[in-house]
Structure 1
Amino acid sequence: MKQVKWGIIGLGGIASKFADGFQFTKNAKLFAISSKNENKLLEFKNKFQIDENYCFSNYDSLLECKDLDMVYIALPHSFHHEWVIKSIEKGKNILVEKPATVNFSQMENIKNNLKNKNIFFSEAFMYRYHPQIPKIVDLLKNKIIGNLISMESFFGFNALTRRKIFGIKFKKKPNKYNRLFSKELGGGAILDIGCYPVSFSIFVASLISKIDFNRIEVLNKKKEIGPTGVDMNSFAELNFGNNFKSKVFASLIKNLGKKTKIIGTKGELIIEDTWSPTNISLINVTGENKETIKIKCHNNVYAYEIDTLSTCILENKKEPNFPGMTINETLENMRILDKWLN
């Protein structure tokens, strides 16, 4: 089987988790890496057995590599737009970590730059490729909970976990140099994790009818701004204009979990871990058709994403098929995030 050769720009925590997924795929190979941090470059080289000729200390050199089929951009949010544009200029197929950009206008610029080019582009929402997603779609389309009315979707964790000093617990303060809390790096709850429930809300709402994105309203916005100037705890209600509404929650200071509840006329569908279930994923249906569904899944959720997108490259596609994240979905996701942020 032919393998798609991947390169990674930026070797942070998310890149490491992503890279672990290659060992579980047959059609993909981690071929090249790039980082300005020599220690990370060496660590990745040794861990993933990368040929030293394909370990680059600057990002441009990786983009010049003619042996690559696909580039995964895993830099902090504020660098995404710049390196997506540079990747387009070099004719590289692109997967960019979420959020694709830090605002709608940047994403619009990317879409314009991709026009009339035979380049694959997608935003890295790995949950879209998890085996629980087709099952959820099947259940909802077969109206197991009746006609869809609304949903509530959560993503939140406490990034300020307490530390112990002499047995006494102290709560950490937000660090402006930490990407989660840095305004310059595109931090904050909405951009970093709020993009998940918003993207899933778009996904579910689109199962009802085609969405007129000009009619979407972002209502009852609440944001708790921290000392570094970014939102740390946020909420909004989305009205899709097709009789479907969604409440979205995102937090960097509260353990909200990863649950989604979809409400219909005959019951509710509850996804216990919407974003990254491993081993077993649980879907609970309440109401008229009460049921608990267990889905066996891989321990590395990124392997599903790598495998599916590598197939897209081998088939010369420019974006993933449903339920993958298309460029128009990414654009509208950013439009909603802009409204939530501002």
Structure 2
Amino acid sequence: MNGIIKWGIIGLGNVAHEFAKSFYNIKKAKLIAIASKTQNKLSKFKDEFNIDSKYCYDEYEKLLKNNEVDIVYIALPNNFHNEWIYRSLELKKHVLVEKPAFINFKEAKKTLGHPNLNNFFLGEGFMFRYHPQIKKVIELIKDNEIGNITSMESVFGKNLLFKKKIFGIFKSKKFDTNKRIFNKSLGGGAILDHGSYTVSMSLLIASLIDGMNIKNYRLINDDKKKMIEDIDIESSIELIFDNKFKSKITVSFLNNVGNHTIIHGENGKIIISNTWCPDSGEIQLINNKKKSFKIENKKNLYSLEIEKISDDILNNNIEASYPGTNKNEILISTQILNEWLNG
């Protein structure tokens, strides 16, 4: 490794493009290889990111067999994640996979039992966890600024289905099942796409409670999901962890519900105005007084994620360093999402 982790990317869609741009000015990580079954994407990535032709592959397996690649970033549609996580582990690669890591709990349980995970890293791409505002939220909770935490609300969603015309009249956008988010076979829908974020945040906050067993949860008040064809476009649910902590989460492709998270304690609350994709963060602490924190971030979230995971691998960590997502959380999150989706 020589102090530099060499990355490969499988699947060259929009998210992969943003991820690839984030290697700029990172000293401990370098993007050296890409794989796509679409020649046009392969050529564009090669030119834009100056990838050597011999490291541009039209088959995913060819990239995985490149012994120079230390870790592979899997940016394929959700329904392909399990297959290529498993194959990556078989070929002894560290893995970062886009969220949600899995869409099927039984498959997740089998893959997370792979013996090579005793020696290789597996992370899930929740870049929001690496933003400095999350570190600040954790610090405020641990410093007992709001007392014992009791509940939270977290939302993620905006109108992706209608566009407003003149005089406030709404016109339906085309419901295009060629788009991943509207295609059930590709793992689309608001629960898997946006709900994975809100569940991840719920697990992170619940785990801060002393003695909390996040495996001990139940789902209540699952409202009637709003559907178009076979795709869930809006849903809410409450998670109760260990009969101690409640998280109410809402996701939507239908309404502009926002991106905020509110964490309640016995003595106050913490409000995160933009939880998921902020450049600079803003946190409000409300207890016996009100205080705001502006959290500056000079790097994008993918850069922070790449740096932290590269450090983990250089330090021989097979779990993501806190507050990254560990394998136990990946499995619990998959189970929750499956129960929510099928409830």
TMscore range, shorter length: over 0.9
Structure 2 residue aligned with 1:258:
259
Amino acid at match of 2:30: K
Structure 1 residue aligned with 2:324:
324
Counterpart Cα distance in 2 of 1:216 and 1:314: 35
Q: Cα distance 1:23–1:212, how it changes in 2: closer, same or farther (>3 A)? A: same
- The alignment yields a C-alpha RMSD, in angstroms, of 1.9
How do 1:1-342 residues align onto structure 2 when only pairs under 5 Å count? 2-114=3-115, 117-162=118-163, 170-278=171-279, 280-342=280-342
By how many angstroms is 1:116 displaced?
Answer: 6.1
By how many angstroms is 1:172 displaced?
Answer: 0.9
Counterpart Cα distance in 1 of 2:215 and 2:118: 27
Q: Is the 8 A contact 1:182 1:228 kept in 2?
A: no
Q: Cα distance 1:340–1:212, how it changes in 2: closer, same or farther (>3 A)? A: same
- Deviations, residues 284-316 of structure 1 (Å, cap 9, x unaligned): 111314210011103521100000000111111
Q: Is the 8 A contact 1:211 1:242 kept in 2?
A: no
Q: Cα distance 1:51–1:223, how it changes in 2: closer, same or farther (>3 A)? A: farther
Helix, strand or coil for the counterpart of 1:7?
Answer: strand
TM-score, normalised to structure 2, is 0.94
By how many angstroms is 1:103 displaced?
Answer: 1.8
Q: Cα distance 1:116–1:159, how it changes in 2: closer, same or farther (>3 A)? A: closer
Q: Cα distance 1:213–1:295, how it changes in 2: closer, same or farther (>3 A)? A: closer
TM-score, normalised to structure 1, is 0.95
Amino acid at match of 1:312: D
Helix, strand or coil for the counterpart of 1:322?
Answer: coil
Helix, strand or coil for the counterpart of 2:114?
Answer: helix
- Deviations, residues 148-203 of structure 1 (Å, cap 9, x unaligned): 111000111222252879xx963213222211011100101111110111111111
Helix, strand or coil for the counterpart of 1:255?
Answer: coil
Matched length: 340
Amino acid at match of 1:245: K
Greater alpha carbon shift after TM alignment, 201-210 vs 82-91:
201-210
Q: Where in structure 2 are there 5+ consecutive unaligned residues? A: none
**Structure 1 vs Structure 2: percent identity of aligned residues?**
45
By how many angstroms is 1:242 displaced?
Answer: 4.4
Counterpart Cα distance in 2 of 1:230 and 1:223: 13
By how many angstroms is 1:208 displaced?
Answer: 0.8
Q: Cα distance 1:24–1:221, how it changes in 2: closer, same or farther (>3 A)? A: farther
Counterpart Cα distance in 2 of 1:223 and 1:67: 50
Helix, strand or coil for the counterpart of 1:332?
Answer: helix
Helix, strand or coil for the counterpart of 2:45?
Answer: helix
Q: Is the 8 A contact 1:163 1:172 kept in 2?
A: no
By how many angstroms is 1:255 displaced?
Answer: 1.7
